Amino acid sequence: MRILGLDLAAQPRTTGCVVLAPDGPGRWAATKPEGPADDDRLVALAREVDVLGIDAPLGWPRAFVAAVVAHEDFGPWPGGVDRGPLTHRVTDHVVVARGEGRPLSVSADRIGSPAMRGALLQHRWATEVWGAPESRDGTGRLVETYPAASLRAWGVEATGYKRGGAAHAEEARRVRAGIVAHLAATLPWVDVDPVADPATASDHVLDALLCCLTVVAARAGTTTAPAGPDEVAAARVEGWVHVPTAPLAALTPPP
C-alpha cells in the first residue's frame, strides 16, 4: 500500500504533499514529491498511490446544501437561530463532543476554499484515475484527517507548531523539529529522514506526513468511526474526520 498525504490548501504554494511507501521488509519511507502541488500534479500522484489522506473537509453539511437549494428555489430558509446544523457537519460535532478539537466551518469559514478545490479534485480523481466516485467516510481511497487532533490524540507536544509571523517563526520551527524527532523515535519502522528538513521548515509538509500516519491508523481500525446509521449515512456524503484512538507507539506497518 502506498499513501499520499495532502495538507490541501486553496493554492498549490501552501499545499503540503508526502508519500509514505514500503521501503523493504517491515520498513516504510516518507518522501516529499518534487514539483508544485497543482491540480494536475495531484491527479498524477493519485495514480501512483492506493489511499489519500487529506487535511480538508471532503464535503459540506447536508442541511446547508439543502438550505442553499431551497433559497435558490425561493423556498423558505430552513435554518433557525441555531445555525450549527448549517455551519458544521455531523463529524465536526462529534470531534467537538469528544474533545478532539474545534473544526472550522466548511460553509462559513475560509476552510471552504480548500474544500472547493478538494471537490474538484475528487471529481478529477473519480473520472481520470479511479473510474468512479469514492465514499467520503474513509472506508475507501479517501481518508479525511485532522493533523492537530492526531497529535493531541497521540500525546505529542505541538503547541505553536503552526504559528506564523517572523516573531514566532523560530519557535514554531523548534516545535516542528521536536514533533519530527518524536515520530522518528516512536516509529522506528518509518524512515522520516527524507522529509525531516522540509517538515521542520513547513507545517504544511509536517501535516501531510501526519495525514499519512493517520491513514495507517485508520486502516488498522484505530481511529474514530461513524456510530449508528445516521452518522454512517452522513459520513458517506459529508466526510468523516478520522482521529486516532490508540497510542502512537502502537502504530505498526500496514500489511
Residue 90, pLDDT > 80, answer: yes
Q: What is the pLDDT of residues 130-185, one digit of tens each?
A: 999 999 999 999 999 999 999 999 999 999 999 888 788 999 999 999 999 999 99
- Residue 21 bridge partners (DSSP): 29
Q: What is the pLDDT of residues 57-88, one digit of tens each?
A: 999 999 999 999 999 999 999 877 788 999 99
pLDDT of residue 121: 98
pLDDT of residue 166: 79
pLDDT of residue 79: 72
Nearest C-alpha neighbor of 53 from the set 116, 2, 126: 2
Nearest C-alpha neighbor of 211 from the set 43, 16, 13, 12: 16
Mapping DSSP to helix (H, G, I), strand (E, B) and coil, where does residue 186 land? helix
Mapping DSSP to helix (H, G, I), strand (E, B) and coil, where does residue 156 land? coil
Alpha helices in 75-202 (DSSP H): 84-87, 90-97, 112-124, 147-154, 169-186, 193-201
**Cα-atom radius of gyration of the chain, to the nearest Å?**
18
- End-to-end, the C-alpha distance of the chain in Å comes to 8
pTM, entire model:
0.96
pLDDT of residue 254: 87
Percent of the chain surpassing pLDDT 90: 94
pLDDT of residue 22: 97
pLDDT of residue 201: 96
Mapping DSSP to helix (H, G, I), strand (E, B) and coil, where does residue 142 land? strand
Cell of 180: 519530527
